[in-house]
Every structure is written in structure tokens, then in C-alpha cells.
A and B are shown apart, each in its own frame.
Chain A
Amino acid sequence: MERMRETDREQDLVQKARDGDDGAFEELVRSHQRRLYAFIYRMSGNTEVTAEVTQSAFVKAYSGIGRFRGEASFRTWLYRIAVNTLRNYMRDEARRRHLSIDNDIPSSEEGAFEILASRQQRELLWEAVQDIPARQREALVLRVQEGYQFKEVAEIMECTIGAAKANYHQAVSRLKRILEEESQ
């Protein structure tokens, strides 16, 4: 019931934004910004890139909202824009320079030893995720961390369901291999 009210509210905001209500669009930004930021960070591993791509994806969403037909959810549509914006950003950036990955993992309330051990493990995992080819990483993040079904993963990545599954399974295999090698 609560979820339905949220969906109705979002549809209302999208409609208002389509009609040119900037306040409604700003509200959509506020309700999606944290999740979109986290999604982009998981794929880029870099806070500066994430901030820039998040902003850019929302600006593109604003200019394209008149063409949003509501066949997918607003969030799925927004993620699709984000994936493309990030792909283009990385492609352009790769031409200019090699990006370094920052691993500024936030602090936790754990004890010193646990922090060190889990930090090392998490940093290793972040690095391993960043070593995966981009499309495989997209499938992995969308499926595992964003909880999308393969049909939606395919929609966002603009590929077939089979390709989404293949990219996901290749990502998991590669991640396993990297982590096994690191632990030896």
C-alpha cells in the first residue's frame, strides 16, 4: 500500500516535470540522488567521477523527460541514462589519462583489528570489482547490489537478457578468480 502510494507520487512528479514544473523535477532529484550516486560509485570506484556523472545524468534526464514514456519505471530509465553517461565519460577519460581508483572506505564502529582486517578485505573487493570489464561490472552491480532482475538489467544495459546473464556470470567467475589469486 505504502509502495503503491510512493509509485503514484513518483508518477505524479514525473508528469509535473514533463509539464515543465522544475520544482517537481528537483524533488525527483532529491528522492533518487543517493541511490544513483551509490550505483555510479559502485561502477566507477571514484568519488569525483561519481559526483560529475551523477549531476550530468540528472541534467540529461531533465532534457529528455519529455520523451520518457513511462514504459519502464523512472528509476530504470534514470539508471539507463546513468550507465550511458558513465560509459561515455569513461571512454572520453580513457583517451586522456589513466584513472586511479580511490578506496576511501568510510569508517565503521568496529574494533581496530576488525576494521583493519575488513578494510583490507573490502579494499581488495573494490579493486577486484574495478578490474572487471565495464559491461560485466554493470551487470554485476545491477544484479547484486541494485537487486534488479535480469530482464531489467538487460533493459538498462540495452542488451538481450541472454547477454545480461552472460556478462553477470563472467563477472562472478572473474571476481572469484581474482580473489583466489590474491589470497594465494
Chain B
Amino acid sequence: MKCRDSWVKEHLAGFASGGLKQEAAGRVAAHLGSCSECSLELEILRDLVSLEVPDPGEEFWAELPRRIMAEVKTSRARTINDKAVRPRIVTFSRRWAWGGGVAAACAAALILLFLRPFGGAVDNAGNGSLLPYTSGHGQMVSLGTETELLSEGPMEVALLERALEVDDEIPEKDRIILEEGSVLEGLRIEDLDDETLRILEKILDEMMPNGVERG
């Protein structure tokens, strides 16, 4: 028979790992005496708790922090280099989508056709999601395609940090998205208000006023 005691079901994991307080553990134990379904579930959960993870060895643990810090330093050096020369960043953003799906598709196709000869899509971190060109001063800048996530290159980090530092006009909703989203790779351009995108564009123009083509 199917057990419908949701309280016990929610606390079985805690019981399996020995993390329940005495009173709660007693209630679960009493239930288990008469419920074969939960007893089986507990057996599986206990097996899961005891599953061992392969240890990669002491050398790995000693090396990992060094590798991480080395990657951080490389990434920092790239940021400094990137700040010296403004990358030409643009994609066909939401404004194209507002014009309608067909218009967006045509615009995207045209942009890609015209810009492919200038080089591939490589971002500051070498991740390949930003396009190395600009649509010109004052035009909308965006940092990924309509559906792609904002990548976490040094340029984007610098831009977002600056935006959060200097601009109070960004709506609270978007501030949260920018703070949480970028680092968690959960930020999508289409989640942001038009006003926020305009602010980001302005800041990017201030950061790199020359619009020099990169690479």
C-alpha cells in the first residue's frame, strides 16, 4: 500500500544520515515498524549516504588551489589587456526580436553574413559567444545572442560591476538579476528591461570610448 505520510517521507533522508533530533527520529522509527515502503526507501537512502567518492589523491588536492589561482591570474591579465583596447561587441539583441521574428531572423542572417569575414565569434575569455565587432557608437550593445546566456568573461564582469557601482537607475529587479545572474551564469539578456540595456550600453561606451576593433 502506498504510504501517504509526507512528514515521514520528508524526514527519511535526515533519519538515514543520523541528522534528526531525538523526537523526530522516534516518530520516524515508529512509522518504519509498520511501513514496508518507507523501510525500503530508508535502505536505499542509507546506501546512498554511504556511497564513497573516489579520492583523486593528495597530489590533486595540493595542486588544485594552485591551478585555480593560476587560472584566476591569467583571467585577470586578460582583463587588463582587454581594457586597453575596446572589443567590438554586439549581437542582434532583443530589439530585433521586438521587430518580429522574421525581422530578427533576417537581421541575424545579414549581420552574420557581413561580419563573418572579420573573424569568428570569440569573446574576451575565449569562450566564443561574443562577436568581435561593433554596431557603432550609440547603438545597442548586447553580450550574447538573443537566447544565449551572458558569458562570464572579464569584460562582462567589469561592465556589470561598474553598472552596479555607479548606476542607481537600474531597477531593483534587474539589479538582482545582474548581481546574482552573471556569476551563476543564469543571466539572460531578454530578462533585462530596455532601460537597463541602455544603461549598460552607456557604461560600455564610457569604459571603451574608442570602439577600436579587436583581434
Contact = CB atoms under 8 A, between A and B. Distances in A.
Contact of B54 (A22, A59, A62, A105): A105
Interface string A70-114: 000000000011001100100000000000000011101000000
Interface in A38-96: 38, 41-42, 47, 51, 54-55, 58-64, 66-67, 69, 80-81, 84-85, 88
A63 B180 CA distance: 12
A84 B186 contact: yes
Contact of B48 (A37, A62, A129): A129
Interface residues of B, number: 43
A42 B164 CA distance: 36
B48 A140 contact: yes
Interface string B36-72: 0000110011011101111110001100110111011
A179 interface: yes
Given A63-B152, A129-B48, A144 B10 contact: no
Given A22-B72, A29-B68, A59-B71, A104 B48 contact: no
Contact of A144 (B45, B56, B149): B45
B203 interface: no
B44 A172 contact: yes
B49 A145 contact: yes
A175 interface: yes
B184 A37 contact: no
Interface in B197-213: none
Contact of A29 (B52, B60, B65): B65
B55 to A, nearest CB: 6
Contact of B183 (A25, A63, A165): A63
A169 to B, nearest CB: 7
Nearest to B16: A144
Given A59-B75, A106-B54, A106-B55, A80 B184 contact: yes
Contacts of A129: 48
Contact of A125 (B41, B51, B53): B51
Contacts of A58: 64, 68
A63 B60 contact: no
A140 B45 CA distance: 9
Interface in B1-43: 9-10, 13-14, 16-17, 19, 40-41
B182 A64 contact: yes
Contact of A104 (B9, B49, B54): B54
Given A30-B65, A62-B68, A125-B51, A37 B56 contact: yes
B164 to A, nearest CB: 7
12 contacts: A22-B69, A22-B72, A26-B69, A29-B64, A33-B61, A37-B56, A42-B53, A60-B152, A60-B185, A144-B45, A172-B9, A176-B41
